[in-house]
Amino acid sequence: MKVPAKRSVQAIPALLVLLVFGQGTTDAGWIMQTKRGDRLSQRPARTLRVERPALRRGPRYAADRVLVRFKPAVADAYAEGLLRSYGFSSVRKIPRIGVYSVRTSPGASVAETLAMLRRNADIQQARPDYRTRLADTPNDTFFVRYQYNLRNRGGVLDIGPGIQPQTTAGADIKATTAWDSAKGDPEVIIAILDSGVDMTHPDLTAKVVSPGRDFANDDDDATDDHWHGTHVAGVAAADTNNAEGIAGVARNCKILPVKVAGADGTGFYSWIIEGIIWAADQGADVINLSMGGDFDDPFLEDACKYAFDRGVVVVASAGNDFGGPVLYPAAYDSYVLAVAATDYNDEPADFSSSGPQVDVAAPAVYILGPAPQWYVGEAYLPYVFASGTSQAAPHVSGMAALIKSLKPELKPVDIMKIIRYTADDVNASVDRGRDDHIGYGRINMERALAPYILK
Amino acid sequence: MRKRSGGAWRLISLGTALVLAATHAPAAESKVKTFMAGLNIDHFSRTIVWDGDTASSRLRASLVSARADFGFGKGLTLSLSAGLSLTDFEGLAFGTLPITIEYNASPMKGLVLGAELETLLFKSGNFEIKAAGRFVSSFGMSKTWPLEGFAVQGEAKGRSNWMEASAGPRLAYVLSGAFVPYLEVNARWLRTDFRMEETLEDLHGLETKRINGDLSFSVALGGDARVSDRLTIKAKAGFVPYAGGADILASVGLMYMF
């Protein structure tokens, strides 16, 4: 039997820390779906392999080439002569559809060339030659069908009998377009302070940097003996584009497991305090806390400040008590990003805690994530659907890790502001601006990571 | 890291112009043989790699300036010019701002000052070899753009400056008194900076893109055509080759002789 560490922080009253989690059941050949309040559903999973390539946005165009189509009455010889009269160094006809690929004159911009061509009455259309890219939407098995949270194309989220909600296209965190700008630096580490991480899980094994630290049992093995931490770690940074399971938000970033909750899903402030300090000292860039307690505690706040002062972005779930206050440490506004929950329609989730400390929200209803094989049983695929602000927080942690990857010079305070100010105010129709339910809004990774085009 | 403010460069540029003017002020009274004034239009493009960047982008500048040419005899001419510039920085990305900004806006306006000195080195028959040096500096006006689509109010504020110095030989053929064609080869040195400031409520970022001296060479053909006793048209066109392409330069001016 492992003995908890005897440190000064244990003098703190042993305040119960609740993981924001649910329960699951097992049944042969099914993905487990887990939701707060023990509501469950299953569907046959081994038949759900989906690999659908999709083309991503290509915003740029060739700097020295445009495409031109003449009006149907214009003869080819005249058209080519006209184009050459502009001084274009190369005029090439694309057969069948009457389009010319034209190399612009040296020194002339595409915009200038297009403006010039469009003034000619013989020309029907003149357009930039847009750049394409290979479609590299992740090939993870469940990405297209189930991970609406990362890219929501609308339609029915078919989880199982009785649970088939209609989703709204665009009610997502814009992960795929953001990945054009940043997929994450493997040197950037997200510490998952939770029930541990299943380090043998196929979607996580390559992402875990070390066995971590177990403050619940005072040893150096943060293996998950629950399921919650594994799920949270997967949402934040599951192995992506590995033709298996799910995609993680921070595709290439790494995971540092820190176990601060026991097998029953509860823990103590002392474990979290030690976990935060340990993770910060280990060089974590982001700390995810999908957990919290009801009581304000200066020692817990000091631990958050310690990490913050060392350049760590601390992210925590707001809590699953609708109408109730934000949990600690999420409520430490200066040092921690408090994350509330939205659903597949960008509606505030009906379980999300609220308060002035809420910074942003993220999808958190029916989120598919990894779970230990022993937990789901050998006959099941090791993934479960779960709902709760526990699932919202790792989206934000993953986003913070991507921002840190792209702009390592930014301080936590700046990363927190970027996450807040780039959010979509999805409940603006009822509560314009920042509000206590979803803060600044549902996070928008594309706005935070992709360049803003100044026009 | 070397750091020079736009103000310092302005002072250098203004100083240079003033020194040149002052140097020749007495000459203006006693030694100026000819004096011409008129309007000049210039355009050039430069494909450049900003310090710290790996990809190139293109700078395009168009200038309209008033110009005065002071001829001191023996082939020595000093030109001073002042006017407006429009500079396009299409595709320039400010990647260290909290939110990366990519510039795709209309050209930036600026005030431009220039000076050019030309002197005769050698003459044989109808051929003349001259040396010409030119210095042009554009002092950008700041411009503000709203940043839209964010949860808070935001704006970006930018200002750009550039200066180009060029020098090289000019081979002219005095075809007649009315037209003098020439071939010019120049070394061109460009320094530019673009300061972009980003504000989203209490989130601030500042990035200055710089090129602290980009050297390239140009070849140009030009000609001075005297269309009447007092009117002269000066025109020049050329290119600035670089690996994989070429930039262009062009200039045309109408001068009136007093």
Give the count of domains, chain A: 2
Select the residue of B101, B102, B151 nearest A421 (Cβ to Cβ): B151
Give the count of domains, chain B: 1
Question: Which residues from chain B sit within 8 angstroms of residue A63, using beta carbons?
Answer: 58, 91
Among candidate residues A90, A114, A130, the one where a domain is terminated:
A130
Percentage, residues of chain A above pLDDT 70: 85
Is position A401 within any domain?
Answer: yes
Name the packing angle between helices A269-281 and A298-309 (round to 10°). 10
CA distance B94 to chain A (A): 9
What was the pLDDT predicted at B56?
Answer: 75
Q: What is the pLDDT of residues A300-337, one digit of tens each?
A: 999 999 999 999 999 999 999 998 999 999 999 999 99
Domain co-membership, A298 together with A407: yes
Is position A222 within any domain?
Answer: yes
Looking at A33-37, A384-388, B51-55, B79-83, which range is the least confident one? A33-37
Percentage, residues of chain B above pLDDT 90: 69
Mean pLDDT of the region A121-150 = 81
CA distance B43 to chain A (A): 9
Please report, for the domain that includes residue A413, its CATH number: 3.40.50.200
CA–CA dist A243, A235 (Å, integer)? 16
Question: Which residues from chain A sit within 8 angstroms of residue B102, using beta carbons?
Answer: 451-454
User: B156 and A454 in contact by Cβ < 8 A?
Assistant: yes
Domain containing B136 equals 6-257
Catalytic residue among A390, A395, A397, A437: A390
Among candidate residues A101, A130, A159, the one where a domain is terminated:
A130
Domain co-membership, A161 together with A181: yes
Q: What is the pLDDT of residues B206-221, one digit of tens each?
A: 999 999 888 999 999 9
Is position B1 within any domain?
Answer: no
Domain containing A240 equals 8-54+137-449
Select the residue of A418, A448, A452 nearest B102 (Cβ to Cβ): A452
Q: What is the pLDDT of residues A92-110, one digit of tens each?
A: 888 778 889 898 877 777 7
Q: What is the pLDDT of residues A137-157, one digit of tens each?
A: 788 989 988 999 999 999 999
What was the pLDDT predicted at B70?
Answer: 95
Please report, for the domain that includes residue B217, its CATH number: 2.40.128
Domain co-membership, A252 together with A395: yes
CA distance A44 to chain B (A): 41
Please report, for the domain that includes residue A99, its CATH number: 3.30.70.60
What was the pLDDT predicted at B117?
Answer: 96
Question: Which residues from chain A sit within 8 angstroms of residue B90, using beta carbons?
Answer: 109, 111
Name the packing angle between helices A412-421 and A389-406 (round to 10°). 120
Question: Which residues from chain A sit within 8 angstroms of residue B145, using beta carbons?
Answer: 454-455
A48 pLDDT above the threshold of 80: no
